[in-house]
Amino acid sequence: MITLYDFELSGNCYKLRLLMSILNLPYDIVPVDFFPGRQHKADWFLRLNPFGQLPVLKDDDLVLSDSGAILAYLAKKYDTSGLWFPDDPAITAEVLRWHAVADDITSTSSAARLALGYDYNFNIEKSQRGAHRIFRLMDEHLWFGEKAGRDWLCSPAHPTTADIACFPYVMLSEEGGISRQDYPALRRWTDRVRRIPGFTVMSGIFPAGPAKVD
C-alpha cells in the first residue's frame, strides 16, 4: 500500500497526487504540517527524509523522497502503458532534463510564493525574475512545439512525468506575483495538462473545461 506524506498546499506533493489520480492508484495520506508547524523539520520526519523536504512516499517498506524521483518510480512501477516515463534512453534523458527544470521552477516560482504567502525569507524579486526567465524559455519551447505538432514538453505524442513535474508551480505562479500574461503558449499547455483524463485539482489550481467535440 502507498502512503503519501503530504501537505495540502504543496505543489510538490500535488505532483504525486496528480500522477496517482491519473494512474488511478489508491493511497493513504499522512498530513504533515509544513506551515506553520514546520513538521517537515521535526525529528520524526527527518528520520524519514534527512533532507527535511516534502513529499515522502512509502510503498510498503520502501521510503522515497524527492517529487521528481517519486514520479519516475510511480510511473515505472505502476504505469502499465509505459507512456509516462518511457524506457527509450533519449526520451528518458529528455524527461529528466525537464525534471531538472521543474526543480528550477520550484526554487524560483515556488520560492516567491513561499515568501509572499508563507513568511519565508526568500528574495522575492530575484525569485520572480528567475521564474520569468524559465517561463520565457518554456513558452518559446512550447510555441515552437505547437508549430511542429508537439503538444507536450517532451517529444512523444503524449504527456510524460516532465509535464506533471513542471505543471504545479507554473499554475501557482500568480501566488508568487508572477503573471503568465506574456506566455501564451505556456498558458495553452496548462489547458492541455488540465484536460488529461484523471486530472485533479488543488487549492489555487482550477479545472479547465472540456475540449471542443465535433
Smallest distance, other proteins to C-beta of residue 147, A: 6
Kindly state the smallest distance separating residue 78's Cβ from other proteins, in Å.
30
Strand spans (E) along 23-159: 27-31, 56-59, 62-65
Q: According to CB under 8 A, which one of 1, 121, 147, 197 is a site residue for other proteins?
A: 147
Gap between the Cα atoms of 194 and 54, Å rounded? 23
Cα separation of 91 and 96, whole Å?
A: 8
- Contact between 198 and other proteins (CB under 8 A)? no
Q: How far is the CB of 188 from other proteins (least distance, A)?
A: 6
Amino acid letter, 162 = A
CA distance 161 to 149: 19
* Binding of residue 211 to other proteins (CB under 8 A): yes
State whether the Cα torsion 104-69-66-18 is positive or negative.
positive
What is the CA angle 99-105-110, rounded to 5?
A: 130
Residues 157-176, interacting with other proteins (CB under 8 A)? none
Q: Does 199 interact with other proteins (rule: CB under 8 A)? A: no
Assess 180 for contact with other proteins (CB under 8 A): yes
Near other proteins by CB under 8 A, which window of 9-17, 32-40, 72-80, 138-146? 138-146
Binds other proteins by CB under 8 A, chosen from 30, 90, 93, 208 = 208
Looking at residue 143, its amino acid is W
Pick from 214, 211, 212, 205: nearest CA to 21:
205
Report the distance separating Cα 152 and Cα 129, nearest Å: 24
The stretch among 51-59, 94-102, 120-128, 183-191 that binds other proteins (CB under 8 A) is 183-191
Name the DSSP letter for residue 108. I
Of the candidate residues 28, 144, 158, 198, the single one contacting other proteins (CB under 8 A): 144
- Verify binding: residue 209, other proteins, rule CB under 8 A: yes
Distance between CA atoms of residues 91 and 85, nearest Å: 8
Query: Measured from the CB of residue 8, what is the shortest distance to other proteins in angstroms?
Result: 20
User: Is 141 near other proteins (CB under 8 A)?
Assistant: no
b/e code 195-211 from CB counts within 10 Å (16+ = b): ebeeeeebebbeeeeee
Q: Does residue number 213 form part of the binding site for other proteins (CB under 8 A)? A: yes
Is 187 a residue that touches other proteins (CB under 8 A)? yes
Q: Which residues bind other proteins (CB under 8 A)?
A: 140, 143-144, 146-148, 180-182, 184, 187-188, 191, 206-213
